[in-house]
Structure 1
Amino acid sequence: MSVKVTDAAGIRRIRLDRAAKKNALDHAMYTTLSEAIEAAPGVILLEAEGGDFCAGNDIVDFISLASHEGSVDALPVFRFLKALTFARMPIVAAVQGQAVGVGTTMLLHCDQVLLSEDARLSLPFLRLGLTPEGGSSLLLTERIGHARAFEWLSSGRPIPATEALNTGVANRVVAREALETESLSVAEKLAALPLAALIQAKSLMRQPDMIWDQIVREGETFLARLRSPEAAAAFAAFLKKG
């Protein structure tokens, strides 16, 4: 399995386990992640094996989206984004190495984010001829302001852990060797709280319907851009280089 799910002591640990591909997400992984989040019985801890948290979408599955017709809701990636958007349980993320594309945008849906010192976030959508996804056009702008969000998106540059912390995208930066222990400790402290109160507090702090409307709007534009000559050229160059 490319995603491991374990439950213990009120915590559901969801671990990306495709390190050889830098934990790039394919359709099957999106489905497993969605099911794990939707049915989580307690606090969720998102983790990843290997040197990188997530390299974004699997490029082959990514290109196949260009042929999709109809509602974005039918796509595994959007089921995953919907699961994140409407998640009842608090989500803690532990991020090391690269977090690219959806590997970064998913963090905007998490309630606490811990980064290792070597973490680097990047949003390369515009360089690929694409547009923001995962609600990032709304959530990132709300979090760090329009000017900074636009710079992150338009440059596609790697954002170091300290910058992500200072702008409010992350809660804490820790040593690489301490990431698992520290993130589990955060999840344990949340799991020790009265569950109903925890769920209600999260619900009061979020507006999932508004976020989902934005994700659908983004998705329609994103799929149209996938069919553009600019995106086709970018993907061809990536595959040739690979």
Structure 2
Amino acid sequence: MGKMITDMVVETYLSGVQVLQMNRPDKKNAITLEMYDNLALALQRAEKDDSIKVTLIHGANGEFSAGNDINEFLKIAQTPEKMSSALTFLQTLSSYKKPLVAGVEGRAIGVGATMLLHCDMVLSAQEATFQFPFVPLGLVPEAASSYLLPKLVGYQKAFEVLILGEAFSGVDAQNIGLVNHLCEPGEAYELALRYAQKLTNLPTEAVMLSKDLLKYRCQDDVQMALMREGRIFKERLKSKEARDAFAIFLSRTHSMS
């Protein structure tokens, strides 16, 4: 059974697995405000649906997500209340009670990388590219990455990844614990689906209770980090540093197209 939420978020069901595909291949699946709204609604609906045991997130056309659409950043800078779409999605994702599995190909950049910190299993192609380029854009980390990444990789490594904002491979991502298992290019979705189906075959309540036990100690800290980052992020969008960085980024993008 398949269901189209919008042409940019495709939802399908495969025997207990809700599959959410970010589907904006012409923009490397960069996420718009409307996509945030639809992803949040899909997760909220799945949480209440007993037939759905696991959610799998992936991107269309060999890319996970290039992150926030830069033009949407500019929109949010003009009308900061629009940022609530992104925050609602991140709050829904971070408190989701069922297992979240991600299949990563190509680019996982910005929020395309930070959302993986909220997934329970991440399966990735070796050649995938991960990047947290917030500071080079004059911004600050988001999606509670300033809290979750140091917990995962230690302070110094988190500082390097979040402040320098340099790209790293799927192999590096596995080495720091961001990725569970690697595969050849083009195989991440199938591998993610295999693990999602393994999870659906386990006792549902035991899985959800165990996930809660693993996460409950830090849940309040995650929500506090989300709100604090969101407040500073919103302020940074109006800063001269961010405006200058966006202008350079957009001029580079236009010169390449």
Q: TM-score, normalised by structure 2?
A: 0.90
Report if the CA contact (8 A) 2:127-2:171 is conserved: no
Q: What amino acid is the match of 1:161?
A: G
- Give how far 1:51 is off: 2.8
Of 186, 195, 200, which residue of structure 2 is paired with 1:191?
A: 200
Equivalence map 1:77-88=2 (5 Å): 77-88=86-97
Residue of structure 1 equivalent to 2:236: 225
**Root-mean-square deviation over aligned CA pairs:** 1.3
List alignment gaps of at least 5 residues for structure 1: none
Of 188, 213, 223, which residue of structure 2 is paired with 1:212?
A: 223
Residue of structure 1 equivalent to 2:49: none
- Give how far 1:69 is off: 4.6
Equivalence map 1:147-166=2 (5 Å): 147-166=156-175
**Equivalent pairs, count:** 240
List alignment gaps of at least 5 residues for structure 2: 1-6, 47-51
Q: TM-score, normalised by structure 1?
A: 0.96
Runs of 4+ in structure 1 deviating by more than 4 angstroms, as ranges, are: none
Alpha-carbon distance in 2 for matches of 1:28, 1:34:
10
Residue of structure 1 equivalent to 2:84: 75
Deviations 1:45-68 (A, max 9, x none): 001111321000011111111134
Q: Structure 1 residue 201 and structure 2 residue 210: aligned?
A: yes
Q: What amino acid is the match of 1:15?
A: Q
Equivalence map 1:102-113=2 (5 Å): 102-113=111-122
Residue of structure 1 equivalent to 2:145: 136
Q: What amino acid is the match of 1:18?
A: R
Residue of structure 1 equivalent to 2:245: 234
Deviations 1:83-123 (A, max 9, x none): 11110110000001111100000000000001101111001
**Secondary structure of 1:25 counterpart:** coil
Residue of structure 2 equivalent to 1:5: 11
Report if the CA contact (8 A) 2:62-2:186 is conserved: no
Equivalence map 1:159-178=2 (5 Å): 159-178=168-187
Of 17, 24, 28, which residue of structure 1 is paired with 2:23?
A: 17
